[in-house]
Amino acid sequence: MIRYSLHCENADEFEGWFSESADFDRQIESGFLTCPVCGSGSISKLLMAPSVSTARKRDEIKTLAMDALKREAFQKLKEAVSNIKANSEDVGTGFPEEARKIHYGETDARAIIGQTTLDEAQALVDEGIEIAALPVLPDDVN
């Protein structure tokens, strides 16, 4: 992204962010850019000092990008867990027993969720019963 310091014919100053230099030119020519203060369509770039990339700046940018990726990944995980819960029957602490009944055909097959111990979960896996652990997620992660 390119950040330009801009101003209008009325000397109002503001910033504009563009994916490339040509985007600024296209938006000016198309009349898409207006001053956010007064609405003037007569916009031009201000003289700017170049932004020198330093190792610290690069690290900050990488951190921000990684934070955005983490937020996106967390949101997708949250949606997946929510979808699983919405489409499953919560059998609570009776999960191991109900999973066995389904596996051995003693009850109708259906999606279930619930709680179990690590030992009981290992016993289910040893019996060939496919299970997966769902993470317990906080309601809101900043």
92-130 pLDDT, tens digit per residue, is: 999 999 999 999 999 999 999 999 999 999 999 999 999
Indicate the pTM of the whole model. Answer: 0.50
* 121 three-class SS: helix
Domain carrying residue 27: 2-45
Would residue 65 count as lying in a domain?
no
Closest CA relative to residue 97, chosen from 88, 107, 87 = 107
* Residue 67 resides in a domain: no
Instruction: List the alpha helices (DSSP H) in the chain.
Output: 21-30, 55-86, 95-103, 118-126
Residue 74 maps to a domain: no
102 assigned to some structural domain:
yes
The answer to whether 112 and 95 are in contact (CB under 8 A) is yes
